[in-house]
Chains A and B, each alone.
Chain A
Amino acid sequence: MKIVTFACNWCSYAGADLAGVSRLKYPEDVRIVRVMCSGMVNPAWILRAFRQGADGVVITGCHPGDCHYMVGNYYAKKRYLLLKELMKFVGFEDERLKLLWASASEGKKFAEEMDSFKKLIEQLGEQKQLRWTP
């Protein structure tokens, strides 16, 4: 299983770091890409991740109102909802895309959510719909 996580520099990346520092275990399938803000996560990256064989994609950012850049996560939420609805419409398994608010102090929440997301992806199995197959 491959789970690509876009984590914002200010909250979620620090949250994931805290999970590591506190020696909480979360699935090793999670691969974190640090971005400066969840608002800069282009829907194209998410689709490209699925194309390259990711089984799940998580966007994580600061809680609404806590964004380092004031409104970045509002944009993230908009893009996420639009992409999710569109994926559902074309029949893609939209459960594979998840949005998670995690602040720098929520290492435990980050680890738990990643655990439950991994379980969900395991139930769904490998992502075959967009994966590159020769």
Chain B
Amino acid sequence: MNEIEKIKDALKSSNAEKIVAFVRKESEPREVLKVLSPNEVDKISFSPLSLNNPAKLLMQINGKVAVVAKGCDSMAIRQLIKEGKLKRENLFIVGISCKGVVDYRKLAKFVNLSEVNDVELNGNDLVLKLKNGEKRIPFLEVVDENCLYCGHPTPVIYDVLIGEPREGKRDFSDIEQFERLSREERWNYWISQFERCIRCHACRSVCPLCYCEECMVDPSNLAVSPMSTPEEKASYPRILGKTVNARDNTIYHLLRVLHHAGRCVGCGECERACPMELPLRMLERKLEKVVVEIFGYDLNEDIPFFSKLDIVGD
């Protein structure tokens, strides 16, 4: 019995009202997330190109939901349960022990995607079933960079687990290497990166933890009319301009990341959604390093990071 059959069986046994799972996109080899009713369970599919995180979708669905979750997705679900945004009893989680996902952009450089019919992982190779024949690519060359540092490949919370549990690791070597650069080099690097940011806010829209109904950068914060009293104006603090330039973008990204301190689950959706391919995960991982090394906090703790009242340093 292969992986997909096992997932289908587990979903059938869940008696949930809705199913959130990956469905093969037409004319493209990748999967997208869909909300299905229980009798549509045969549509589902799963492959190393099932990239997205279903946690954000779950917040919009009422009633009992069955969901297919990889390691990082289950981290996000658990974090949202911790923060009171989801209810555990409403969820049936089919956890998948994840071997890593493919970076769609890297794969597109290897092969014309419209010719690919099927993708599967075989040992250390990614096997692409093309219209005419087969192509093998070493998995390490197309794997999402984020998956190389994955700390939780096995779901941390699940009802049914599919696949063998896998060990995660904690590796901050790339951050440490970057920290060894001089201050000017670091500043120039980040300014050259943030210069390219177009402030589309896709990183915010796609992040499972950015669920605020009104974000600090939303224009509704600035709804000021000629009739507004000074008191009303004062209650609309303008934290950040809408201008797109390297420095405002720097501030936007620093603030965005600060809101994820001790919460970021490391699914890498921000980087995947970014049209300019900015290294956003690097900032998140730096904060994770601070949270782990300076504050001694572990993401697996039941208490949220900011609620822990211990004082560090002098």
A binding-site residues for B, Cβ under 8 Å? 42-45, 47-48, 51, 64, 71, 74-75, 77-79, 81-83, 85-87, 89-93, 129-130, 132
Contact = CB atoms under 8 A, between A and B. Distances in A.
Contacts of A90: 186-187, 190, 250, 254, 283
Nearest to B190: A90
Interface of B: 178-179, 183-190, 216, 239-240, 247-248, 250-251, 254-255, 257-258, 261, 283, 286-287, 290-291, 294-295, 306, 309-313
B258 A91 contact: no
Given A51-B247, A81-B313, A82-B287, A87 B254 contact: yes
Contact of A75 (B186, B286, B294, B306): B306
Contacts, number: 83
Interface SS of B by simple majority: helix
A75 B247 CA distance: 27
Nearest to A73: B311
B294 A91 contact: no
B51 to A, nearest CB: 27
A82 B216 contact: no
Contact of A89 (B179, B247, B295, B312): B179
B189 A82 contact: no
Contacts of A79: 258
Given A45-B239, A78-B295, 20 more contacts: A43-B255, A44-B240, A51-B248, A64-B311, A71-B309, A81-B313, A82-B258, A82-B261, A82-B291, A83-B254, A85-B294, A86-B254, A86-B257, A86-B286, A90-B187, A90-B250, A91-B184, A91-B187, A93-B183, A132-B247
Contacts of B312: 77-78, 81
Contact of A86 (B178, B189, B283): B283
